[in-house]
Amino acid sequence: DQQVKQNSPSLSVQEGRISILNCDYTNSMFDYFLWYKKYPAEGPTFLISISSIKDKNEDGRFTVFLNKSAKHLSLHIVPSQPGDSAVYFCAARGFSGSARQLTFGSGTQLTVLP
Amino acid sequence: EAGVTQFPSHSVIEKGQTVTLRCDPISGHDNLYWYRRVMGKEIKFLLHFVKESKQDESGMPNNRFLAERTGGTYSTLKVQPAELEDSGVYFCASSQVSTGGATQYFGPGTRLLVL
């Protein structure tokens, strides 16, 4: 049973436009959400995160929105650049105790077209 | 500051052989995690160390996998004997306990192929 879902395996966007990547989760005990970017043959690179007590976090061109009632988060990239082309993983962290590991979605391949 | 490093970057072994993967976390990070990605699917948790202690090993697939972190610095993950289904990319990640440890920083991974 996948607790973190990224239902879009791929997304293509024109350079300069907005990219919106979506993620849904089922476990209401997650307390922290993160987005990672991954290039081929490399490890995931941390991009941006948000605590469950917030609904928005912004860092330059990247903004993450959290809707707890809908158990949904999204990553907005504005403006999109060709170098943003990568696989984006949504991840969630457990609330307490031993459950501090990250649970990942299956990833969304973003392609930014020049 | 150096990031998380992993060795080797690639390993090709035959079924039944033994392989040992190594991870060096970011200096000062007491949390160390192992994850695995099989067949391009989602990245899945294997286990978690806090310093030299295993905090959670609920993701370890079976007793052919043995992880150690002697002295609380680098960690090794040994697969013995390796099976075909163990092929995949093994990632190590680390985080700081003092800042809540929410952000985990990943290494480049070890690509393991069992033939």
Query: What average pLDDT does this structure show over B5-23?
Result: 97
pLDDT of residue A97: 57
pLDDT in tens, B34-48: 999 998 788 999 999
Contact B106 A89 (CB under 8 A): no
- How far apart (Å, rounded) are the C-alpha atoms in residues B79 and B16? 10
pLDDT in tens, B103-113: 899 999 999 99
pLDDT of residue A103: 93
- Residue of chain B with shortest Cα separation from A109: B40
- The pLDDT of residue B101 is above 80: no
Q: Which residues of B touch A (CB under 8 A)?
A: 4, 6, 31, 33, 35, 41-45, 48, 55-56, 58-59, 91, 93, 101-109, 111
Give the DSSP per-residue string, chain B. ----EEE-SEEEE-TT--EEEEEEPPTT--EEEEEEE-TT--EEEEEEEETTEEEE-TT--STTEEEE-GGGS-EEEEESS--GGG-EEEEEEEE-TTTTS-S-EE---EEEEE-
Both tokens of residue A93? 């962290």
Query: What average pLDDT does this structure show over A48-65?
Result: 96
- Residue of chain A with shortest Cα separation from B88: A41
Residue % of chain B over a pLDDT of 90: 81
